[in-house]
Amino acid sequence: MTEKPTLAEAQLKLEYYCSYQERCHQEVVDKLYQLGLKSDEIDVIVVHLLQHNFLNEERFARSFARGKHRIKSWGKIRIVNELKQRHISAPNIKAALTEISEAQYQETFHQLAERHWNSLTERKGVKKNKKFCDYLLRRGWESQLVYEKMKELESSTSQ
């Protein structure tokens, strides 16, 4: 087992940890506990990181929302749930969702939906519809959008 780092060493490690990639408070606290620090030492380091702008929850939330939507094609429901799981405050979640324009959101949804619909091997029917809906709902897209798109795609393929 490695020995516990000093407060200055831990602070330096966490500065690098936070500058490498945006982090939320929970990730930083978990990392500090992993290093073997006590809660009062953790508080000192977290305050330092906040004061020197290594740690910024709103910046993390905005970056998280942009990235997950653009790269993984997640819908707003999934993004909100993941941010809540990371203990991000409601105002920061609201700010994060403003990073996704409505036009971009709709375009991503339609591209993803059509690509997935065409990739399903079932010809048509309940099984194909279920697989299609489950996939998009799991990715956090609103059920109203999903069901409307399913009906649209179903009617366009049956003609």
pLDDT reported for residue 25 = 92
What is the sign of the dihedral through the CA atoms of 73, 16, 28 and 57? negative
What is the distance between the alpha carbons of residues 129 and 39, in angstroms, rounded to a whole number?
A: 51
- For residue range 132-159, what is the model confidence (pLDDT) as tens digits? 999 999 999 999 999 999 999 888 766 5
Taking Cα atoms as reference points, which of 17, 56, 54 lies closest to residue 35?
Answer: 17
pTM above 0.85, yes or no: yes
Q: Is the pLDDT of residue 1 over 50?
A: no
Q: Is the pLDDT of residue 79 over 80?
A: yes
Q: Are 23 and 45 in contact (CB under 8 A)?
A: no
Residues 99-122 pLDDT 10s: 999 999 999 999 999 999 989 887
* 131: pLDDT strictly greater than 70: yes
Task: Give the pLDDT score at 158.
Answer: 61
Please tell me the predicted confidence (pLDDT) of residue 34: 92
Q: What is the structure's pLDDT at 66?
A: 94
pLDDT in the model for residue 57 = 94
pLDDT in tens, 12-71: 999 999 998 999 999 999 999 998 888 899 999 999 999 999 999 999 999 999 999 999
pLDDT at 4: 82
In Å, how far are 46, 63, 78, 85, 97 from 67, measured between CA atoms? 25, 6, 13, 17, 11
